[in-house]
């Protein structure tokens, strides 16, 4: 399958490729990692990529598929995570310069759910500083660029999440939304994004903005797949 069509497949379409054996999780992950290496320098949506961790997760997924014991819809699916959501062992900066050396010591529950479902975590995504803007322009880690036209804002604060999905660098992405931080960049980048009802997804491990309003929300290629995360 040609490069661009594969990166444009939705969650369910990618799952079907894995289920029918047309694709395996290792090849799929390698494809996305290569795409990130090629396109991220101009988009700046990924702040860090966990090549080794993604490769290990993909190997485990491939073995499950080969044994006929996949964990479900997300098994082997490449997913990326906003940088204010804790992933154990990854830098956890929330877009703040003073947190460059901060490393998450534990997994956020939403991340653990993805891991338990067999997802392949690709890396952490750019965001507005402390999630306090909607421009996708971080003064410390650089602007996250809209993939559709040079010079246009990607929106924020989950700009990296929207760009990663829109540009075909992840099948799904996690963002966070307090006052529009998933919905704004989703709209600007032309992908579906959801702010779930308060409390639907745990915000433990998320750097808070407004605890009574914060929510973790997914971004995907199809609106009907937003509830699958």
Tell me which residue of 191, 228, 229, 196 sits closest to 215, measured CA to CA.
Answer: 196
Q: Is 181 a catalytic residue?
A: yes
Burial of 226 (0-12, 13-18, 19+ CB in 10 A): buried
β-pairing, 46-49 vs 120-125, is antiparallel
DSSP 145: B
Q: Are 99 and 127 a contacting pair, CB within 8 Å?
A: no
Residue from 62, 82, 133, 158 carrying the catalytic annotation:
82
Residue from 133, 158, 161, 181 carrying the catalytic annotation:
181
Whole-angstrom distance, CA of residue 109 vs CA of residue 67:
28
Residue from 61, 157, 158, 161 carrying the catalytic annotation:
157
Q: Is 161 a catalytic residue?
A: no
Chain position carrying tokens 């653990």? 112
Cβ neighbors of 150 (< 8 A, separation 6 or more) are: none
Q: Is 157 a catalytic residue?
A: yes
Alpha helices (H) along the chain: 3-7, 11-19, 25-43, 51-67, 109-116, 159-166, 183-189
Residues with a known catalytic role = 82, 157, 181
């Amino acid at each position: 399958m040609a490069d661009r069509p594969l990166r444009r497949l939705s969650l369910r379409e990618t799952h079907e490729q894995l289920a029918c054996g047309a694709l395996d999780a290792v090849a799929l992950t390698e494809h996305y990692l290569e795409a990130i290496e090629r396109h991220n320098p101009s988009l700046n949506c990924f702040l860090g990529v966990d090549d080794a961790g993604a490769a290990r997760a993909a190997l485990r997924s491939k073995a499950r598929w080969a044994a006929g014991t996949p964990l479900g819809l997300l098994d082997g699916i490449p997913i990326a995570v906003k940088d204010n959501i804790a992933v154990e062992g990854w830098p956890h900066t929330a877009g703040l310069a003073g947190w460059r050396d901060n490393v998450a010591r534990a997994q956020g529950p939403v991340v653990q759910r993805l891991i338990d479902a067999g997802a392949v975590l690709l890396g952490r995504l750019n965001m507005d500083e402390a999630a306090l803007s909607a421009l996708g322009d971080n003064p410390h880690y650089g602007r996250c660029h809209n993939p559709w036209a040079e010079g246009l804002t990607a929106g924020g604060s989950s700009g990296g999440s929207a760009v990663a999905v829109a540009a075909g660098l992840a099948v799904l992405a996690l963002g966070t939304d307090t006052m529009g931080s998933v919905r704004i960049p989703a709209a600007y980048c032309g992908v579906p994004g959801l702010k779930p009802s308060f409390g639907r997804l745990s915000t433990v491990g998320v750097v808070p903005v407004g605890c009574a309003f914060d929510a973790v929300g997914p971004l995907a290629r199809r609106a009907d797949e937003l509830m699958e995360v």
